[in-house]
Amino acid sequence: RLKPLNRLQVILQHLKMCKHTDSTAEVLLEKRGGAGIITLNRPRTLNALNFSMIQQIYPQIKTWEQDPETFLIIIKGTGGKAFCAGGDIRAITDAGKVGDRLSQDFFREEYILNNAIGTCRKPYVALIDGITMGGGVGLSVHGHFRVATEKTLFAMPETAIGLFPDVGGGYFLPRLSGKIGYYLALTGFRLKGRDVLKAGIATHFVESEKLPALEKDLIALKSPSTENIADLLNSYHGKSKVDQEKEFVLDEHMEKINSLFSANSMEEIVKKLKQDGSPFAIKQLETISKMSPTSLKITLRQLREGASMSLQDVLMMEYRLSQACMRGHDFYEGVRAVLIDKDQSPRWKPAALEEVSDEFVDDCFKPLGTNDLKL
């Protein structure tokens, strides 16, 4: 018979496992074969990432990283509609309004998690099936492998809510080919399906219905190396024929994107778009005119600086920017207009690009002293 103490330990261990595999838990963490599996489990909110999920995922990744019996980490979402539609913006907004610590802690812990994914020593496979935006991009894009499907919908729509493409956006966006990253960041343009691969955001494309088989095969690999995992992903990728013949959605506009979005300032980009006058340019002007002028200016500088920085330095910079947004006006107004009242007509302050001074932008990038993010 078990000694009472041991019995208690067994029961506690059992409860802990139940908590992790309990279907009502917001994130499921389980070990199957040689794989650690993270399942985002808030289908009603499109698996939006909240603070408690971050607090569970981070230590688990660190544990698996040290475990000699764990050879890879897989992250996926439930519900069939989304991998992860973003961070829990509503909670951050409510906290920021009343000066609650969550508006500091959320970004801090989220960026620490993004860095853990970016530096993870175990191969990290993100199955980005369905909506993958904002915080969901941060959970996937810095890992070794990102598997898109025909259902993947990628966007960094932050300039529309008075924020900026964070979670390491300043690192990966300027590293995409040409000026694609700048275009995606400033306009919030959505990429679908195979285009997510063609833009360089995903590493592989596999049909959505094949993901359970792929996952099973990944779990079955015996002490795999990164190459073994890549080989398996490549074989699935090679057999996926959906939309194979379609050309990249931005192909016909690449020349314009590269020239129009290579300016040094937002005002210059707008001027170039106006001078160009093509239907494409006019459409971009319309989109940009709806965005927060402050967000646009912060974002352009974030990407220009991030292009030559390490992921760690980018996340430190973005933490400063996140706190500047928490102190400002546009984030709360953007969330109100887009997510709460849904009137889609935010009243930005300042309302024009010319009114956002260089001094103000400089201020957003200033160090926070002891409050700076430490990685």
Tens of pLDDT, residue by residue over 85-138, are 999 999 999 999 999 999 999 999 999 999 999 999 999 999 999 999 999 999
How many beta carbons lie within 10 A of that of residue 285, not counting itself? 15
Residue-wise pLDDT tens digits, 23-45:
689 999 999 999 999 999 999 99
pLDDT at 374 over 80: yes
The residues pairing with 333 across neighbouring beta strands, listed in sequence order, are: none
Cβ(241)–Cβ(209) below 8 Å: no
* Ranges of H-type helices in 75-210: 89-97, 102-118, 135-138, 169-172, 180-187, 194-198
pLDDT at 243 over 70: yes
Q: Give the pLDDT mean for 199-227.
A: 98
pLDDT at 2 over 80: no
pLDDT score for 15: 56
Catalytic residue among 87, 96, 169, 334: 87
Catalytic residue among 77, 86, 135, 136: 135
Catalytic residue among 110, 158, 195, 318: 158
Q: Is 308 helix (H, G, I), strand (E, B) or coil?
A: coil
pLDDT score for 22: 62
109 is annotated as an active-site residue: no
Output the furthest CA–CA distance in the chain (Å, rounded): 83
Residue 304 in tokens: 């220009």
pLDDT score for 248: 96
Q: How far apart are CA 128 and CA 149, in angstroms?
A: 7
34 is annotated as an active-site residue: no
Helix (H) or strand (E) holding 39: strand 35-40
Q: Which domains does the chain have, with CATH numbers?
A: 27-371 (3.90.226.10)
Q: List, edge to edge, every strand of the sheet that includes 153-155.
A: 82-84, 131-133, 153-155, 191-192
pLDDT score for 6: 64
Instruction: Count the alpha carbons within 13 Å of 365 in the hemisphere toward its beta carbon.
Output: 20
Q: Is 36 helix (H, G, I), strand (E, B) or coil?
A: strand
118 is annotated as an active-site residue: no
Give the percent of the chain with pLDDT over 90: 93
Give the percent of the chain with pLDDT over 70: 94
pTM for the whole structure: 0.93
- Going by pLDDT thresholds of 50, 70 and 90, the confidence category of residue 278 is very high
Q: Give the residue from 162, 156, 152, 153 showing the smallest Cα distance to 187.
A: 156
Catalytic residue among 88, 110, 129, 166: 166
Cβ(295)–Cβ(163) below 8 Å: yes
pLDDT score for 150: 98
Over its C-alpha atoms, the chain yields an Rg (Å, rounded) of: 21
362 is annotated as an active-site residue: no
